[in-house]
Structures are given as structure tokens and as C-alpha cells.
Amino acid sequence: MRVLIYKRTHPGDPNADGVFGCEDCMGAVRGRRFDAVIGVGGKGAESQYWGLNRRLNWVGVGAHPSQSVPVGHRGPLLTFDRFVLFEDRGPPLKDIAPTLARHLYNVNRRVVMSEALSPKLQREIRAILALASRKSKVPRRERGKRVLSKSMCAPTVCPPDICVPEGGGRERRTRDIKRPVIMARLKRN
């Protein structure tokens, strides 16, 4: 199984419906051949602002690209058979996949394809992918057969310098997850 692993800087792409590419994130990289995607938070200022930094943000397994590239986009939109969105509530990557965390952050890699990685990294990647198998967000009848509509790809967040509420706090879309349950599941694998 080929897995794309990349660092994110902001929430909203993929959206809560599991459509990757709504905001054209990762552009032409979405057109590469892979079966699954793991999104982890980067370590820069924008990732820190959104609370995504160095965390597991989302997992999608069973990638299905759109038939064509939407106007104004650099790559196809993707849906998944199994999808889970953690955003800023995901566990720190170093806690669940320490070797992968070192591989991504110590050398500052932005995008990695799994096929050339060591067996130890492959085991950590499989453990992360197992989360999507257990916690799918796509109804069974819709997996891989959904028609993408314009409303599914409406932006859900705006850049941090624009989207600051009157109280000065941050607005973020989050999904409730139970960290202890996820950590226990990963340690079993």
C-alpha cells in the first residue's frame, strides 16, 4: 500500500465530509498515485496557531480521485473509503509514531511516500492507518461512490490573519475524540 504522508499548516482541507483538495492544499501532489494519506501538523507558526503542530491531524484510506481536476485547482479532489479527522485534537505524532516523527521533523521533510521507508517506519504507518479502519467517518453506502458537489468543497476556515473573532480568540473546527482510547489502540498494534 502506497501512503502519502505530508505536513499541514491549517485546518479545513480535507473538510469534515472527507474531501481532500477543497482548498487545493498540496496541489499537484494530490495527483500522485497512492492508496492512503496521513496528514500531520507541521512545526511552523501557522500550524502552531491552529494547534495542529506535530500532531496526527487526519487519516484517509482507500483514495478515490475525481475524474477531472476542478477549474482553478492543481490536482484532483479525493474522497476515501475510510476517513477520520482529528485536526487539533489528534495525538502528538511523537507519542504514537516516534520514528516517523523524527523522520519528518528532524530533517524538515514536507512530503514523504511510504514505499521507500524502513520496516520500522512501515509498522508505525500501518498502526496509524488502522485508526481509520476502526473509526470511519464515511457511511458504508457512500464509500468511494460519492458525487462531489460544490457545497462539499466550500472553505470551512479562513487564514489566521483574517479569521480572528472580536474577543481575540481563535475559531477552529474540531472533532471530539477520546485520546486515551486512541493511545491504547495504537499501543496494541
pLDDT one-digit tens code per residue, 14-52: 988 888 888 888 888 888 888 999 999 999 899 899 989
Query: What is the predicted pLDDT for the residue at 24?
Result: 80
Q: pLDDT below 50 — which residues of the chain?
A: 137-189
Q: Name all contacts of 140-149 with Cβ < 8 Å and 24+ positions apart.
A: 143/62, 143/80, 143/81, 143/82, 144/62, 144/64, 144/79, 144/80, 144/81, 146/79, 148/19, 148/66, 148/77, 148/79
Q: How much is the pLDDT for 83? A: 92
Which pLDDT score, from 0 to 100, does residue 1 have? 86
What is this structure's pTM?
0.71
pLDDT of 109: 84
pLDDT at 140: 38
**Residue percentage of the chain with pLDDT more than 70:** 70
